[in-house]
Amino acid sequence: MELAVGDSTEIALIFNSKGFKGKVQKGAKITTNDTTVTGLYISLTGEVTNSDSTFPLLILPPHLDFTPFFKEKVMVKKTGIKNVSHKEIKLKIIDSPTGYLEVRLSSENIKPSKEIELVAKLNSKLNEDSFNKSITLELNDKNKTRFTIPVKRDAKVQ
Amino acid sequence: MKTKISFIFGLITLTFLLLILSNDISAQPKVFMSETSWDLGIIPQGSVISHTYWIKNIGTDTLRILKVRPG
């Protein structure tokens, strides 16, 4: 692939967490004709867990699936985010797939044992039948804990 | 007088040619990525996650992406 002066392009790093548990790191090495850069490396890190061990939040469902149901397009999906700790949590969306979804939280504050909603609305002009994307949330705790919600659509009708 | 004019003209032409040549030699692609790592945090098991990185050419010549190899 060639990029003219001033142009840019995107590279997606895709990771399948099936079969993994605990801390993971995946990456890729990019080689270009820029001789001043010998090793360009992009990486993803994370912690793979099951939905029972995602303290201080419980996100159900943990995935969003926009696969069409009986030829009817699915345009809006929601997930519940519950605060299972004893402290109030503030959170924000720090990454969402541009051009695919419009994502919003029903509130940026969650009191202990309370729940909010994350609503994802599909871009009606999207041409892709299949995709795998993700939404990342970040908490205001001392560790800036992050949660990533996978979003997908399969071309095959359910 | 004629010799002097020819000499000056030759000098100007040579300077001009050298300038053009030096621009061609110094043209270089330059890769830029504002972000090269991303922390997904807690990820549910059995899911496919993707994250997009942007790669830009901030140089003065065409940038070629020759290879992208997982590792």
Residue B21: DSSP 8-state: H
CB-count burial class (<10 Å; 0-12, 13-18, 19+) for A10: exposed
Give the number of other Cβ atoms within 10 Å of residue A144's Cβ: 11
Mean pLDDT of chain A: 90
Report residue A52's pLDDT band, with 50, 70 and 90 as the boundaries: low
Residue A43 in any domain: the answer is: yes
**Mean pLDDT for the stretch of residues A100-114:** 95
Contact A89, A57 (CB under 8 A): yes
What pLDDT is recorded for position A86? 94
Residue A33: DSSP 8-state: S
Looking at the structure, tell me whether residues A34 and A67 fall in a common domain: no
Residue A89 in any domain: the answer is: yes
Looking at the structure, tell me whether residues A76 and A137 fall in a common domain: yes
What pLDDT is recorded for position B1? 75
Residue A121 in any domain: the answer is: yes
Domain extent for A88: 57-153
Report residue B53's pLDDT band, with 50, 70 and 90 as the boundaries: very high
The nearest CA of chain A is from the CA of B16 a distance in Å of: 24
Residue A67 in any domain: the answer is: yes
ipTM value: 0.88
What pLDDT is recorded for position A105? 97
Q: Which pLDDT tens digit goes with each residue over A125-146?
A: 888 888 999 999 999 999 999 9
Rounded (10°) CA dihedral A11, A16, A21, A22: 10
Looking at the structure, tell me whether residues A68 and A26 fall in a common domain: no
For residue A32, list chain B residues with Cβ-Cβ distance below 8 A: 29, 31, 63-66
CATH number of the domain within which A129 lies: 2.60.40.10
Q: Which pLDDT tens digit goes with each residue over B17-30?
A: 776 665 556 789 99
Give yes or no for residue A62 having a pLDDT over 70: yes
For residue B45, list chain A residues with Cβ-Cβ distance below 8 A: 17-18, 20-21, 48-50
B23 and A CB contact within 8 Å? no
Task: Return the percentage of chain A with pLDDT > 70, whole number.
Answer: 94
Count how many domains chain A has: 2
Looking at the structure, tell me whether residues A28 and A79 fall in a common domain: no
What pLDDT is recorded for position A157? 54
Q: Which residue has the higher pLDDT, B9 or A35?
A: A35
